[in-house]
A and B are shown apart, each in its own frame.
Chain A
């Protein structure tokens, strides 16, 4: 495979070009806002796809990590005057420790126990964010101090667009490297057969826990950036439906495909905006689309289309 055909060469350049040229066609701040949300959802979904698509584990609580990242960063900066960047890193550290503490015992089990455990954890996080009114403002949400680093304050959707764009590029690059490393090969091996992987000397539990913690930290970072960008957060970011949306993005775009996760994030971020035209029918259509894609394109959009293209080409 030449440089231009590989995901890390041509794919990354193409993504950079798209991110670079997009501002030329986006007509106003509303579109920039949607693009930023796509980028942030994309970062979470790339992490989640490492877990679901490569390690074969599902998480139904990633919105909890996203929400926790947003709230911890917001509370640390607003109430305790911690510098925003340090607050983000502290939030990521906290989420990482939490994810480790939960995943370590669960990952020993087989089957879809992680789905159940993460579901429970995510809902508990959402309930705590709703109930601890003095700290989080409760269901009404809380304002977030603006981001600043060494006196520089990003202002406006266009500046944030570039920040999220760069973060997204870095995330994609890191994820592609990870997949192509021994860790990535170990993950694919244990996805195929945990017993076979273990007998080949792969520490199955350790790799699963590592990738789970990595994806939780990515979700937390995206959550923190979201909080500083949007300036006002509510517990809705952490709720169960948001977790489902994130999983749906990954599966829709294509399991075990980094760019697929990005495409899924883009579609499911844009779709509700488009479907608002249909008012009351919005939810019905969202559900129907999710079902239809899963039934007719089982592997998700990007892998299915890529296969079709290859067949055309040959």
Chain B
């Protein structure tokens, strides 16, 4: 029982990071139907940036804020420099552009910070909390709290603010949204800023648990992508559930079956979902008009 609880703790912690990354995928996909393969690099930039700023003497909250802001700027720059000039390009070309961006960002991080692993001190001590015989790291609570806060903020943003509603409207029907005067270019820019925000937050929160390095974004990005598909592409709250589900399945597989194949679980689930539930667990069925 304690074992299971332990796996659940670690699964939910990891799952929360996948969820945040998946959220970024869903938001950009909604605004532009672009699958942003540079999403994982936002996670890396957030984590590495915060580690670097803390190491150069900044207090933790300031370092976090600055790292998040910097990642958002990178997100907007990517959109302005690479996505917007290529509007109307085919989906395949857009995928290649974001893949190029991801390689570029990883290369830049290697030049700036080297290829070594970096660690970050936990935000509030490393003394594990004992719950029912399982150890819960305080940092896990930070990750969970951060993810919950992000979801609530997003829910408020999409449901209650004018800008958020404009984004929802554009996702639902870009042409109708443009007709009522919603600036599509602004929505697109905002979506990259938001997914930069969620990516960076995920990277910073998880950095004290798993070390961070310039290549950390590759796997995290792909798992986040899986989370987004699992939840039904373009459904932000589905992405959250998808992320948590992936994290827990991974932890349970690692604990009971084989830790070697832990990384394969997410992708196996994706294949099964595509075979049997192609619109994801929470996606709506759509009929396409011709």
Contact = CB atoms under 8 A, between A and B. Distances in A.
A133 to B, nearest CB: 9
B100 A124 contact: no
Nearest to A102: B271
Interface in A106-132: 106, 109-110, 112-113, 115-117, 119-121, 123-124, 127-128, 131
Contacts of B263: 123, 127
Given A116-B274, A123-B267, A58 B103 contact: no
Interface residues of A, number: 44
A124 B267 CA distance: 7
A240 B91 CA distance: 19
A120 B268 contact: yes
Given A109-B278, A127-B263, A195-B290, A281 B101 contact: no
B110 A290 contact: no
Contacts of A106: 274-275
Contacts of B97: 290-291, 294-295
Interface string B257-290: 0001101100110110011001000000000101
Given A127-B264, A255-B92, A290 B106 contact: no
A119 B218 CA distance: 13
The SS class assigned to the A binding surface is helix
A284 interface: yes
B102 interface: yes
Interface stretch (B42-50, B81-89, B202-210): B81-89
Contacts of A298: 86, 89-90, 93
A161 B29 CA distance: 45
Contacts of A281: 107, 111
Interface of B: 35, 82, 85-86, 89-93, 95-97, 99-108, 110-111, 218, 222, 225-226, 229, 260-261, 263-264, 267-268, 270-271, 274-275, 278, 288, 290
Query: Nearest 9 pairs between A and B by C-beta?
Result: A287-B104, A283-B107, A290-B100, A287-B103, A284-B107, A120-B267, A291-B100, A120-B270, A131-B260
25 contacts: A105-B274, A109-B274, A113-B274, A116-B225, A120-B267, A121-B267, A123-B264, A127-B261, A131-B261, A244-B99, A247-B95, A247-B99, A248-B99, A251-B93, A255-B92, A282-B107, A284-B104, A286-B107, A287-B101, A287-B103, A287-B105, A290-B97, A291-B82, A291-B100, A294-B100
Given A280-B110, A283-B104, 10 more contacts: A52-B92, A58-B92, A109-B278, A124-B268, A244-B99, A248-B96, A248-B99, A284-B111, A294-B96, A298-B89
